[in-house]
């Protein structure tokens, strides 16, 4: 099974953007315990590359670990060498797509306008991250998919447990969630059970939305 297909069975990518890396591993474990299968560390987190190997070991069989905020070819190569199972960019980057294809690693490319979204898809993105999704909301995603129904879109930026179902019903194959899961106050006090509960609630909300969408003939997986 392809990496993204495995993650999209649950439909959630968790974006772990931290000021310091010391709590990243227990945080990743807490999120995976809630059923999230895509864990994305980011280059904006100090020493992020050093987290990939131990996180993969801890989460083996439960979640895949990738690297996000990849902005150029050098970062892409470093992430793959460090063990990233997938790559995610904030913007359209031809270099990252090329490295991902060369190394056989799936890539989710960030884009926003219809032109960028289609360009990312045609360049070889396995998924297109619609970012920042909060600007257009679920209606914007639905508008994008009306003339381009084959795109596999993942909204990111402002997505939470309340808004995620609407994105799924609009046709998203999954959602990428950051602050709604990685709440700084919860992380600071090590409230792992509460973070697990949030992750589980998000996974369940996506599952319900997919069921509702299937009944109505809309939505994607």
pLDDT at 3: 87
Cβ atoms 207, 11 nearer than 8 A: yes
**Structural domain includes residue 201:** yes
Task: Given the residues 129, 194, 204, 212, select the one marked as catalytic.
Answer: 129
> Residue 219 pLDDT > 60, yes or no?
no
Mean predicted confidence (pLDDT) in 48-54: 96
The CATH number covering residue 10 comes to 3.20.20.70
Instruction: Name residue, tokens 């709604």.
Output: 180
Task: Given the residues 2, 40, 95, 194, select the one marked as catalytic.
Answer: 40
10-41 residue pLDDT tens: 999 999 999 888 999 999 999 999 999 999 99
User: How many domains is the chain partitioned into structurally?
Assistant: 1
Percent of the chain at pLDDT > 70 equals: 95
Strand 64-68 vs strand 127-130: parallel, antiparallel, or unpaired? Answer: unpaired
Mean per-residue pLDDT over the chain, rounded: 94
173-200 residue pLDDT tens: 999 999 999 999 999 999 999 999 999 9
**Structural domain includes residue 14:** yes
Distance of alpha carbon 38 from its chain centroid, rounded? 6
Mean predicted confidence (pLDDT) in 154-175: 97
Annotated catalytic, 2? no
Cβ atoms 3, 106 nearer than 8 A: yes
What does the CA dihedral 126, 14, 95, 48 come to, rounded to 10 degrees? Answer: -150
Cβ atoms 168, 206 nearer than 8 A: yes
**Structural domain includes residue 221:** no
The values of phi and psi at residue 173, to 5°, are: -85, -15
63-109 residue pLDDT tens: 999 999 999 999 999 999 999 999 999 999 999 999 999 999 999 99
**Structural domain includes residue 116:** yes
96-152 residue pLDDT tens: 999 999 999 999 999 999 999 999 999 999 999 999 999 999 999 999 999 999 999
> Residue 221 pLDDT > 60, yes or no?
no
**Structural domain includes residue 22:** yes
Give CA–CA dist 204/162, Å, rounded. 12
Mean predicted confidence (pLDDT) in 44-64: 96
Annotated catalytic, 60? no
User: Which residues constitute the domain of residue 120?
Assistant: 3-216
pLDDT at 212: 84
> Residue 218 pLDDT > 90, yes or no?
no
Sheet holding 87-88, edge to edge: 153-155, 127-130, 107-111, 87-88, 64-68, 38-42, 12-16, 175-177
Q: Give the pLDDT band of residue 8 (cuts 50, 70, 90).
A: very high
The values of phi and psi at residue 127, to 5°, are: -140, 155
């Amino acid at each position: 099974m392809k990496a993204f297909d495995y993650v999209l069975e649950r439909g959630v990518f968790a974006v772990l953007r931290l000021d310091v890396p010391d709590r990243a591993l227990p945080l990743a474990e807490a999120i995976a315990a809630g059923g999230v299968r895509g864990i994305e560390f980011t280059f904006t987190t100090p020493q992020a590359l050093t987290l990939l190997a131990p996180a993969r070991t801890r989460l083996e069989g439960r979640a895949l670990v990738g690297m996000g905020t990849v902005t150029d070819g050098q970062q892409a190569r470093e992430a793959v060498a460090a063990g990233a199972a997938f790559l995610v960019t904030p913007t359209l980057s031809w270099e990252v797509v090329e490295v991902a294809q060369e190394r056989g690693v799936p890539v989710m490319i960030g884009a926003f306008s219809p032109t960028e979204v289609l360009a990312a898809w045609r360049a070889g993105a396995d998924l297109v991250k619609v970012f920042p999704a909060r600007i257009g909301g679920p209606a914007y995603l639905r508008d994008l998919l009306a003339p381009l129904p084959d795109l596999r879109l993942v909204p990111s930026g402002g997505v939470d447990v309340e808004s995620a179902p609407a994105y799924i019903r609009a046709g998203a194959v999954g959602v990428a969630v950051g602050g709604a899961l990685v709440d700084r106050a919860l992380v600071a006090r090590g409230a792992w059970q509460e973070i697990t509960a949030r992750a589980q609630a998000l996974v369940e909300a996506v599952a319900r939305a997919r069921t509702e969408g299937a009944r109505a003939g809309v939505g994607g997986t």
